[in-house]
């Protein structure tokens, strides 16, 4: 039986955005490994972004509780 592989780690920086910058509250997220910045409005959008970037939950035996 094959040993399970560890999920690669990643670092995110979440920057609060001042109320005056947006009528709708949002977070700026920096994906450190690629120095990529994205803006997300909800936690669900952040999770969707992470799933795309890290293939999180792509193994059918894992990630079911995400």
Residue-by-residue pLDDT tens, the chain, 66 positions? 555 555 556 666 776 666 555 555 666 676 666 667 777 767 788 788 778 876 665 555 554 455
pTM as predicted: 0.38
Asked if residue 53 lies in contact with residue 31, where contact means CB atoms within 8 angstroms, the answer is: yes
What are 27's two structure tokens?
């977070």
What pLDDT is attached to residue 48?
Answer: 82
| Domain residue spans of the chain | 12-54
What are 42's two structure tokens?
């909800």
Q: How far apart are CA 53 and CA 55, in angstroms?
A: 6
List the one residue out of 65, 52, 66 whose CA is nearest residue 10.
Answer: 52
Residue located via tokens 């450190």: 32
> Three-class SS of residue 51?
helix
């Amino acid at each position: 039986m094959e040993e399970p592989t560890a999920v690669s780690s990643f670092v995110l920086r979440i920057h609060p955005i001042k109320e005056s910058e947006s009528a709708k509250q949002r977070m700026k997220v920096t994906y450190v490994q690629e120095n990529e910045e994205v803006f997300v409005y909800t936690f669900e959008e952040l999770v969707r972004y992470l799933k795309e970037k890290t293939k999180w939950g792509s193994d059918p035996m894992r990630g079911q509780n995400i």
